[in-house]
Amino acid sequence: MAEPVVVAEREDRRWRLRHLPVLLLVSGGLFVGAALVGGLTGGLPAAVGAASGVAVTAASYTLTTVVLAWADSINPQLVLPFGLGLYVAKISMLGGVMLAVASTGWAGLIPLCYGIAVGVVAWTGAHIWWLATVHARWGR
């Protein structure tokens, strides 16, 4: 009778990251699309900027997902402090990087900002879609 509990615990741990492959796939497609649109509209700097913006967003959200899944698996009470600390650290780093990039006068800065914004919308939309369709069918 103890074994089903162990199996249930193992399955329970996987739910925290189950959505990640779908969201990374969406981000990968968006990365390519952003590079193409950036390249066609503003050349190489815009292509690099737009794709980098999507990559920054995907990396940021992936880091948050993994850290919070880990914290939740250790103790659910760790989610709030780790989440808030990670948020402050990421926003501070992003602000510093944006200031540094802005001071260079790089032509890809505006496409970078667009890539970040589009990455946020796409990641959030894909996550909502996943929750409303796939997750609802799994009953969790």
- Taking only the tens place, the pLDDT of each residue in 7-29 is 454 555 667 888 899 999 999 99
d(C-alpha 24, C-alpha 6), whole Å: 29
What is the pLDDT, as a whole number, of residue 134? 76
**Domain assignment present for 123:** yes
**Domain assignment present for 10:** no
Q: Which of 79, 77, 32, 76 is nearest to 54 (CA)?
A: 32
What is the pLDDT, as a whole number, of residue 137? 65
**Domain assignment present for 12:** no
Tens digit of pLDDT for each residue in 61-94? 999 999 999 999 999 999 999 999 999 999 999 9
What does each C-alpha distance from 133 to 72, 89, 108, 128 come to in angstroms?
A: 24, 32, 36, 9
Whether the per-residue pLDDT at 107 is higher than 70: the answer is yes
Domain that holds residue 30: 24-133
Tens digit of pLDDT for each residue in 92-105? 999 998 999 999 99
Task: Please count the structural domains in the chain.
Answer: 1
What is the pLDDT, as a whole number, of residue 51? 97
Q: Concatenate the DSSP letters of all residues of 56-79 into one string.
A: HHHHHHHHHHHHHHHHHHH-GGGH
pLDDT level of residue 39 (50, 70, 90 thresholds) = very high
Q: What is the DSSP letter of 108?
A: T
What's the chain's average pLDDT?
Answer: 88
Per-residue tokens: 27: 């981000």
Angle among Cα 31, 116, 59 to the nearest 5 degrees reads: 65
Contacts of 14 by beta carbon, 8 Å cutoff, 6+ apart: none
d(C-alpha 54, C-alpha 113), whole Å: 9
* Mean pLDDT of all residues in 43-53: 97
What is the pLDDT, as a whole number, of residue 130? 87
**Domain assignment present for 9:** no
**Domain assignment present for 119:** yes
**Domain assignment present for 108:** yes
**Domain assignment present for 110:** yes
